[in-house]
């Protein structure tokens, strides 16, 4: 016998639910916000409970009518033949939703429904059933909206999205039915039938992968649930339910025997992967769904077997905390780059709570759908990874051409001509050397001519000019004229756009002045060093984010870092950390007091496809941090403190000459036997304590850390390798 039912679903699922219910035999499907009314027999209702991948609840109306007050609602519920649904020895529970002037709150509404049911049994049988908050024999759902009251029998019990395989949701769990909706919208069922692969580069607890495997293997999502709302209902037909379960088990066995396409997930978080492995095992899919620890930088089409192009699906982070979005911009850019380079012919489905980040991927989506991920409005973006869908913003790439207005021709002074000649000479020597070495960022000129006291650094096709503060005896107007000549000469000699020449005055900084801004353009440009991608900002800060003189130190760290535990102290923008991470460091820890620098490091990690799961950052006073857990040991440590600091975040003034012994000793307490401490600083009159040299094995490696572009001022920094002496 057919009757009315109602399927509750998340908003935005209604169209998909109608298609699903129709395939299960439902008739007269009619959508409303957050649900679908349908008609069918008990077999259809049971099938919906067993097979719906999208619904939260399957409800059967018991009574429905307009009510004007609490008494109307009570009489309506009291008139139900309750002895057809439960007896006095069974348990029940009532959920109430909605409101009206005569219903003060949902608890009050549920209490009135309970009173009506209990009074029925007391009046007819002289005894009453009990209320059970957890897994009652009969679950009732009452809903009141604009005076229309409906009381349902909940056939589902717990929400159908709880399949039974997931106990730990990880850090950012997707509900199972949302994962299913994403896969259905992305066309995964059809892709799976054609043998296409399913990959998730940031799989978390593997919900998307498991739901994809359940679809590919034709496994009913409710098959492993051990409780439904109809289990204790007197109207339940166990023989009919058993037949449907037997049928589902056979379909599961047939699906698994036929085999599944390649389904793989990756994540940088060990915690997430542990949860994923447990969830996959509980779902009975360990032979078919595999996850492994891998940073986004290594995400590629599997090569261990022939993989049919299919679907990449993911739920990347989207920045709910202030500052997160800055790094995530580069994460999304990197994901888009990986897709463009290695996944042409594939499809990508990405759900995000920040659609603007999706626009940074360099890909044009062909479809978009609105969903809600918990309380967060989200958008599902679908992409076909084909060249015609590629969208690259040239302004974000180093070397992109810019238009520049031609200015008036200015005749150079003799001094300007002399400066131009020196610049050309340096370009023939240092510039040629840098090109041969594959060095993109280097120092071209450093006050070679005393009259033109500037440092000129090349960053790809951009030029950074730092003016040294002129002596007080120099007329300020003369000093300004020389700076103007430098700015005028550089574009012509170096063949760069004048808009790509950045000028700053460089003076001795005290305390927090190193963090002061020159500008607020927030223009970060990507450069490369030793195969590592790094972001520099040439306009906003005194420093650019990349100390060029330490290039050999960073490259040396990259050679040593594989499999090592790396600690970066006074980490600045974390460029050495990124080198170590890209070279295969086991894990890294980076410590600095500046939020600006740590956010910059997060961006540098993201642009290389690295996550903070393996590469932890600590905002702390290094001196105090080193006093912490000395049981945490490191194989490779970089200690590169400032010369002097009186930052407000530090209780005492820091002086590298005075305090370096204490710093080194604390680092050595963290250094493993056989490990290496690289200690460097930029104090030109620095003297290393003799006691340290007697206590430890110390090698002055400064000459090896000075490249050709800094050879004229080889005292720009000092560097030592320090190790424990062997017993």
Flag whether 512 is in a domain.
no
pLDDT above 80 (res 394):
no
pLDDT band at 393 (very low <50, low <70, confident <90, very high): very low
Q: Which two tokens stand for residue 559?
A: 């050679």
Question: Where among 154, 189, 206 does a domain terminate?
Answer: 154
pLDDT above 90 (res 639):
yes
Question: Where among 366, 396, 426 does a domain terminate?
Answer: 396
**Same domain (yes/no): 468, 373:** no
pLDDT of residue 392: 60
**Same domain (yes/no): 202, 281:** yes
CATH number for the domain spanning 374: value is 3.40.50.150
Backbone angles phi, psi at 294, to 5 degrees: -160, 135
Structurally, how many domains does the chain consist of? 4
Flag whether 105 is in a domain.
yes
CATH number for the domain spanning 54: value is 3.30.2130.30
**Same domain (yes/no): 268, 385:** yes
Pairing of strands 441-446, 35-40: unpaired
Q: Which two tokens stand for residue 360?
A: 């940074």
**Same domain (yes/no): 180, 131:** no
Q: Where does residue 537 rank: exposed (0-12), middle (13-18), buried (19+ CB within 10 A)?
A: buried
Distance CA 66, CA 447 (A): 88
Question: Where among 364, 396, 428 does a domain terminate?
Answer: 396
**Same domain (yes/no): 592, 691:** yes
Task: Say whether 683 sits in a helix, a strand or coil.
Answer: coil
Q: Cβ distance 654 to 646 under 8 Å?
A: yes
**Same domain (yes/no): 560, 655:** yes
**Same domain (yes/no): 327, 444:** no
> Of 219, 190, 174, 216, which is closest to residue 51 (Cα–Cα)?
219
Distance CA 302, CA 198 (A): 11
pLDDT tens column, 332-367: 888 998 999 899 999 999 999 888 888 888 899 999
Instruction: Report the mean per-residue pLDDT for the chain.
Output: 90
Flag whether 368 is in a domain.
yes
Flag whether 330 is in a domain.
yes
CA angle 391, 392, 394 (to 5 degrees): 145
pLDDT tens column, 510-560: 444 444 454 555 688 999 999 999 999 998 888 899 999 999 999 999 999
**Same domain (yes/no): 593, 642:** yes
Flag whether 249 is in a domain.
no
**Same domain (yes/no): 491, 418:** yes
Flag whether 194 is in a domain.
yes
Task: Say whether 353 sits in a helix, a strand or coil.
Answer: coil
pLDDT of residue 508: 42
Flag whether 525 is in a domain.
no
pLDDT tens column, 245-263: 999 999 999 999 999 999 9
CATH number for the domain spanning 479: value is 3.30.750.80
**Same domain (yes/no): 88, 192:** no
pLDDT band at 631 (very low <50, low <70, confident <90, very high): confident
**Same domain (yes/no): 439, 578:** no
Range of the domain at 443: 400-507
pLDDT of residue 396: 38
Flag whether 621 is in a domain.
yes
**Same domain (yes/no): 413, 382:** no
Kindly state the average pLDDT of the residues 637-665.
Answer: 84
**pTM of the predicted model over 0.85:** no
């Amino acid at each position: 016998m057919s009757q009315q039912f109602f399927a509750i679903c998340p908003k935005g699922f209604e169209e998909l639910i109608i298609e699903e219910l129709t395939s299960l035999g439902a008739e007269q499907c009619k959508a409303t916000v957050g649900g679908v009314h349908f008609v069918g027999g008990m077999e259809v209702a049971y099938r919906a409970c067993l097979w719906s991948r999208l619904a939260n609840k399957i409800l059967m109306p018991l009574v429905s009518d307009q009510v004007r007050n609490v008494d109307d609602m009570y009489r309506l519920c009291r008139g139900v033949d309750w002895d057809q649904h439960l007896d006095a020895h069974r348990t029940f529970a009532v959920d109430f939703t909605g409101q009206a002037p005569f219903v003060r709150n949902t608890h009050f509404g549920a209490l009135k429904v309970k009173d009506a049911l209990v009074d029925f049994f007391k009046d007819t049988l002289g005894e009453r059933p009990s209320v059970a908050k957890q897994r009652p024999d009969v679950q009732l759902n009452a809903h009141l909206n604009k005076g229309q009251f409906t009381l349902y029998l909940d056939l589902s019990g717990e929400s159908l999205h709880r399949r039974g395989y997931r106990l730990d949701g990880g850090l950012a769990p997707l509900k199972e039915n949302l994962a299913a909706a994403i896969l259905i919208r992305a066309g995964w069922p059809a892709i799976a039938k054609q043998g296409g692969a399913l990959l998730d580069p940031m799989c978390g607890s593997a919900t998307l992968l498991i739901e994809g495997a359940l679809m590919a293997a034709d496994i009913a999502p409710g098959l492993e649930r051990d409780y439904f709302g109809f289990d204790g209902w007197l109207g339940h037909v166990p023989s009919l339910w058993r037949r449907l379960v037997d049928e589902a088990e056979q379909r599961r066995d047939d699906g698994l025997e036929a085999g599944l396409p390649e389904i793989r997930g990756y994540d940088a978080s060990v915690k997430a992967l542990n949860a994923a492995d447990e969830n996959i095992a509980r779902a009975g899919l360990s032979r078919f769904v595999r996850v492994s620890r891998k940073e986004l930088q290594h995400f590629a089409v599997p090569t261990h077997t022939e993989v049919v192009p299919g679907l990449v699906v993911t739920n990347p982070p989207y920045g709910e905390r202030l500052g997160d979005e800055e790094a995530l911009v580069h994460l999304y850019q990197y994901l888009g780059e990986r897709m463009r380079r290695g996944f042409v012919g594939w499809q990508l489905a990405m759900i995000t709570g920040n659609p603007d980040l999706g626009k940074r991927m360099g890909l044009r989506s062909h479809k978009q759908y609105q969903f809600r991920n918990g309380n967060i409005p989200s958008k599902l973006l679908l992409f076909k990874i084909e060249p015609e869908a590629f969208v690259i913003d040239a302004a974000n790439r180093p070397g992109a051409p810019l238009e520049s207005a031609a200015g008036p021709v200015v005749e150079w002074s003799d001094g300007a001509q002399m400066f131009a000649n020196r610049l050309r000479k340096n370009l023939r020597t240092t510039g040629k050397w840098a090109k041969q070495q594959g060095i993109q960022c280097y120092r071209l000129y450093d006050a070679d001519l005393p009259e033109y006291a500037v440092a000129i650094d090349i960053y790809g096709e951009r030029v950074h000019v730092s003016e040294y503060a002129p002596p007080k005896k120099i007329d300020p107007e003369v000093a300004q004229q020389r700076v103007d000549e430098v700015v005028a000469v550089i574009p012509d000699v170096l063949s760069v756009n004048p808009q790509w020449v950045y000028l700053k005055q460089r003076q001795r900084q005290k305390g927090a002045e190193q963090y002061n801004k020159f500008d607020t353009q927030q223009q970060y440009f990507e450069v490369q060093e030793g195969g590592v991608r790094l972001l520099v900002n040439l306009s906003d800060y005194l420093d650019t984010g990349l100390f060029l003189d330490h290039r050999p130190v960073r490259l040396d760290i990259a050679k040593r870092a594989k499999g090592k535990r790396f600690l970066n102290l006074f980490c600045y923008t974390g460029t050495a950390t990124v080198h170590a991470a890209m070279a295969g460091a086991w894990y890294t820890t980076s410590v600095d007091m500046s939020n600006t620098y740590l956010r910059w490091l997060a961006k540098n990690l993201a642009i290389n496809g690295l996550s903070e799961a393996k590469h932890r950052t600590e905002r702390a006073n290094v001196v105090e941090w080193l006093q912490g857990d000395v049981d945490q040991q490191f194989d490779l440590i970089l200690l590169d403190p400032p010369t002097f600091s009186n930052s407000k975040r530090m209780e005492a003034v820091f002086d590298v000459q005075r305090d370096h012994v204490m710093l080194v000793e604390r680092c050595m307490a963290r250094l493993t036997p056989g490990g290496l401490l690289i200690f460097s600083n930029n104090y030109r009159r620095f003297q290393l304590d003799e006691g340290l040299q007697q206590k430890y094995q110390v090698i002055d490696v400064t000459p090896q850390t000075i490249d050709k572009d800094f050879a004229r001022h080889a005292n720009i920094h000092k560097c030592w390798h320090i190790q424990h002496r062997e017993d």
